[in-house]
């Protein structure tokens, strides 16, 4: 996985007002970390405008 790729992710488990479903997310963690760790940092994408 590379930084800035968009992947489908299953955001489960969720907390609070988060929506539990599969949705696109952009990978924001560094490539060097993505190669060495079993987890990556992502930012879910939405079509809804923010507050």
By the 10 Å C-beta count (0-12 exposed, 13-18 middle, 19+ buried), 23 is classed as middle
Tell me if the pTM is above 0.85.
no
Could you report the average pLDDT of every consecutive run of 10 residues in the chain (51 residues)?
93 71 92 93 83 69
Whether the CB-CB separation of 28 and 14 falls below 8 Å is answered with no
Query: CA-to-CA distance for 46 and 16, rounded, in angstroms?
Result: 17
Query: CA-to-CA distance for 32 and 6, rounded, in angstroms?
Result: 17
């Amino acid at each position: 996985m590379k930084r800035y790729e968009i992947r489908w992710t299953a955001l489960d488990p969720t907390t609070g007002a988060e929506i539990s479903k599969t949705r696109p997310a952009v990978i924001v963690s560094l490539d060097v970390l993505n190669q060495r760790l079993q987890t990556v940092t992502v930012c879910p994408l939405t079509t809804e405008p923010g507050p």
